[in-house]
Structure 1
Amino acid sequence: MKKRILVLDAFTNGHEAVLAFIQRQGWAETDCEIVFCGTHPNVFKHLTEGPAYAVVPIRNSIAGEVTEVTKHLALFRETGYDLRERDRLDLQINTSVKQPAVEVMLESKAQIVGLHPMFRPEMPFDGQTVVACPARLTAPDWKTWVVNMLTATRAQIKWSTPAEHDGYMTTVQVIPHLGNLTSALLITEAGVSVSESLAFTSPFYRVMFSLMGRLVSQSPDLYTSIVMENPETLTMLERRIAIEQRLVQMIRDKDQAAFEELFAQANVHFGPDVTKEANELFMRILGVLSTLYGKNSVTLEFSKAQSRPGLLERISRVFSERQINLTGINSVALDGQRLQFTISFEQSRTSDGVHRALEEIEEWSDPRVKVLN
């Protein structure tokens, strides 16, 4: 019989956490049955069906690193989940549909708050969005603690109800994910070479390409629950199909006026403030793309362990001393180990001054910097 391993949250790092757990136990993956539960109640339901291990990935939560619970959760089969404590705070974290799980948790007397960090687990909280859904937060001490804890993360906190949260997840998760998947499948089924298409790319397509590529490169488990468990998915998908059928008819009839009217309708609904912000953001993205892919750009890579305050200033000084004007700087952390600075110049990438500056940087012993292009 295979060992059943229950995974609480497939939306962040559930798959990698359970594989790491299996490896630490010295088991073969083929000897294990991995069950993605999605919510605490589903974990408890599966535990009543027989022996199981559980891996609860919470790296994206306030709680910190991945926590494995095996013997502790197994006890629930004998003792049940304690729903009686009045002084407890239960946080329901990460699931994209809050209301069903929160309703079960409200059977207890505990304080109940749903949290949904809207970003990848390896990203810092600072500046990111966390949706907080206080289903029951009446105890003054716990209310103060929750507010202070969320404030300390420096994230953008959006207070909501579970029902409102679930409704907006249709808009901010289901619609974009299905749209990107549909576009990726159109390209796939048309047999278009993606790599070759990038030689013809516009900035808009490159942004769209990055969204599609990121989506299809990840585990489908991440998106299956988001799409399948949202009760509004079918309604939105049917509405999308209806819109596309209207588009088909307009294009078949070459009805230019009707086609342009669709743009006008959407523009009015979005409003001038939103479209202004969207255009400004797109211009910023173009600036980043220009730095990343411009002919007069270079990428410097070094290990995260060697990162220290003043490093970017030190690099900039090397170019400044040679009268080289920097037009853009982009930094990114890759795989938790490598950091990259991509820098663009006003001067030619092949100029003598740029060449000598890069040579000097490569000769550093601390930190060791690799020039990638």
Structure 2
Amino acid sequence: MTHDKPRIGLVGSQGAYGRWLRRFFEERMGLQVLGRDPHGDTTLSERALIEGIDVLIFCAPIRETPAVIRRYVDRAAGIEREQLWLDITSIKAAPVAAMLTSQAEVVGLHPMSAAPKAATLRGRAMVVCEARLHRWRAWLEQFLVASEADCVRADAERHDRVMALVQGMVHATHMAQGAVLRELAPAVGDFDGIRPFSSVGYELDMAVTRRILAGNPAIYQDIQFENPYVAPMLERLAAHLDTLRDLVRSGDDAARDELREKLLTQSRTYVGEQAVAEGSYAFERLGYLLADLHEPRYISVFLPLDRPGSLRTLLSVFEQRGINLDSIHSSRSAEGELLFRIGVARDTHATVLRDAMRAIEHEGIGRVVDAAGVSEAS
């Protein structure tokens, strides 16, 4: 066993995070990775996996994780005393408690996003719950640095209390919005009929709602059912919605004043003027981003060579043809490729855009993966 080049074991190696972690440890940290998963990766027995690794990471479904950990504790029967055990579940108290019944060192982790398309967790938070950590501390810090995550430290109980708000409340409100749309939207043109009327707030809310509906339902179920702090939060949320409903039903001036005081003024005072102003500005920026993404003329380009000057070379194609750019945004495709979405002025002639696209590909600058507004005349 070595703390310099530990062998990594993944329990749940075929899941989205299991696959991402394998790539991360093998390609970014140069470590050997072994895995086991009931869905297609069962070459190693549970005992053989424990015997073959130094760091064991549980990335199983939320609801199953504590029981899975307890089973591995039984299989280990003490041979894990020199190991580090981690989990990456969205709930922390139960998995951490289960890992503490082992003799391994124990840390709970929660990356605050789905498995990314990028190679690291840069720009994403990761909660770190140290439960029993001594000899493995230096390696853990090395791993966290390599992950490029914005790490926040908390104990497992505080994590779960916070997640009732950060995840439980947000998911609950958007699941409820989806149900309300399903029931009321058919009377006004269905989902697609509403979209032309969208405000920035509606677009942002619907982006979250559709993201949840596109995800694995088991994750959203477990976040509601497995966190003991979610039910009390839902009681408070339901109480405030009931208050809002009753005030709107009343409709008199006293009800209007009460709504303003209880649901707006008091909350604004709690949040604070600086945070309110920052949030308002962030909302405006997102509104401008949405407007850019709705522009009818754009080209999305993948640059295969990630090196200084690549973007300048790409932009020179537009400059040489007198094409005025309205916006430039970077994002990642479903395959994880970094794309540049370049919005162009609406008065740009389609033939000029097509010429620019040909030049990008023929000169080996990049690959055009999407375009709009290049087939009709300007």
Question: With structure 2 as the length reference, what TM-score do the two structures score?
Answer: 0.74
Match of 2:85 in 1: 90
The letter for the 1-side match of 2:293 is: L
**Alpha-carbon separation, structure 2, partners of 1:198 and 1:214:** 16
Structure 1 CA distance for aligned equivalents of residues 165 and 16 of structure 2: 19
Instruction: Identify if the C-alpha distance between structure 1 residues 330 and 196 changes in structure 2 by more than 3 Å, giving closer, same or farther.
Output: same
Residue type at the aligned position of 2:277: K
SS of aligned partner of 1:122: coil
- Give yes or no for contact 1:300–1:369 (8 Å, CA) kept in 2: yes
Seen in structure 2, the aligned counterparts of structure 1 residues 95 and 9 have a Cα distance that, compared at 3 Å, is farther
Task: Give per-residue Cα distances to partners, 1:27-68, cap 9 Å, x unaligned.
Answer: xxxxxxxx95645441256x6xxxxxxxxxxxxxxxxxxxxx
| Contact 2:360-2:368 within 8 A present in 1 as well | yes
Match of 1:187 in 2: 181
Deviations 1:192-231 (A, max 9, x none): 3111211111122111111111111222112111111010
Distance 1:336 1:368 in 2: 14
Does the aligned pair in 1 maintain the 2:92–2:160 contact within 8 Å? Answer: yes
The residue that corresponds to 2:197 in the other structure is 200
Letter in 1 for 2:40: F
Partner residue of 2:158? Answer: 164
Pairwise CA distance, 1:238: 1.6
Match of 2:327 in 1: 328
The verdict on how the C-alpha distance between 1:183 and 1:315 changes in structure 2, with shifts beyond 3 A counting, is same
Taking the aligned partners of 1:20 and 1:85, their CA distance within structure 2 comes to: 25
> What CA distance in whole angstroms lies between the structure 1 residues aligned with 2:66 and 2:351?
65
Contact residue 11 and residue 222 of structure 1 kept, 8 A:
no
**Is it true that 1:239 corresponds to 2:236 in the alignment?**
yes
What letter is aligned with 2:77?
D
SS in 2 for 1:80: helix
CA shift for structure 1 position 338: 5.3
User: Which range is displaced more, 10-19 or 199-208?
Assistant: 10-19
Q: 1:349 to 1:238 in 2, by over 3 A?
A: farther
Amino acid in structure 2 at the alignment position of 1:342: R
Deviation by residue 1:297-316 (Cα, 9 ceiling, x = unmatched)? 303244x8x35434432221
Change (3 A) 1:358 1:368: closer
Shift in alpha-carbon separation, 1:152–1:15, aligned structure 2, 3 A: closer
Following the alignment from structure 1 to structure 2, what is the Cα–Cα distance between the partners of residues 268 and 10? 47
Whether 1:135 aligns to 2:131 is yes
Give 5+ residue unaligned stretches, structure 1.
1-6, 25-34, 48-72
CA contact (8 A) 1:114 1:133 kept: yes
Secondary structure of 2:130's counterpart equals strand
Task: Tell whether the 8 Å contact from 1:8 to 1:43 is kept in structure 2 after alignment.
Answer: no
Cα distance in 2 for partners of 1:194, 1:348 equals 31
**Which residue of 1 is the match for residue 111 of structure 2?**
117
Q: Deviation of residue 362 (structure 1)?
A: 5.3
Given that residues 107 and 128 in structure 2 are in contact (C-alpha distance below 8 angstroms), is that contact kept between their aligned partners in structure 1?
yes
Which residue in 2 is equivalent to 1:300? 300
Q: Residues of 2 paired with 1:174 and 1:14: CA distance?
A: 24
Structure 2 CA distance for aligned equivalents of residues 271 and 83 of structure 1: 52
Assess, with a 3 A threshold, how the Cα gap between structure 1 residues 15 and 155 changes in structure 2: closer, same or farther. closer
How much does 1:319 deviate?
Answer: 1.2
Which residue number in structure 2 is paired with residue 316 of structure 1? Answer: 315
Cα RMSD for the two superposed structures: 3.2
TM-superposition CA deviations, 1:246-279 (whole Å, max 9, x none): 1111101112111211211111111123222222
Aligned length: 321
Report the secondary structure of 2:279's partner residue: helix
What SS does the corresponding residue of 2:237 show, helix, strand or coil? helix
Q: Percent identity?
A: 27
